[in-house]
Structure 1
Amino acid sequence: MDKVILLGGIAGTIGGFAVIFYQALTYLQTDVWNSFSLFTAVNRGPASLADMVSASPGLMDTLGKCPLSAALIAAGLALLWIAGKLRNRYA
């Protein structure tokens, strides 16, 4: 189980940096910084999730202000920390 969480943490952290890299590449091509927020990810996901978030204006505003790259990096680092704790406990 700790290996699955470890790989999820690695994927989340790399995904966050990949989003920043993608934003930088598109900025170099178009001279416009396209900011991706958590709401962008929710809006492009399942329709039921987007409807549930749209029902709460406060949650929608919060997700709109949180950068996707920061959220992915933070989630990845949290998963890496949890995997480290699990590995130390059951080693």
Structure 2
Amino acid sequence: MNKNEILEEYNLETYINAELSQNYKDLESIQRYIKKNGEENLDLFSEMFWADKSDSISNLKKELNIINNIGYSDILKAYPKEKNINSLN
């Protein structure tokens, strides 16, 4: 089976959106933030990150009032965006 056949058979988007995303949303640091502030800024962080990667992660976090103990990669995995998933495919 070649690479394209594997990717067609294995639905990466479903896995990322259903399983991987939820695993990262369940992280204690993200759960505490969500309980206190909601999910909007975390989701917006991911959207803004993929829209303009030239802006620094620190600036995005400050702008959206996201605490530093939440890793940016955890946010991106918890709130995947179509642009990112397409690049992985």
- The TM-score normalised by the length of structure 2 is 0.33
Higher RCO (CA < 8 A, seq sep 6+): 1
Which of the pair is proportionally richer in helix?
1
Structure exhibiting the larger radius of gyration computed from Cα positions: 1
- The TM-score normalised by the length of structure 1 is 0.33
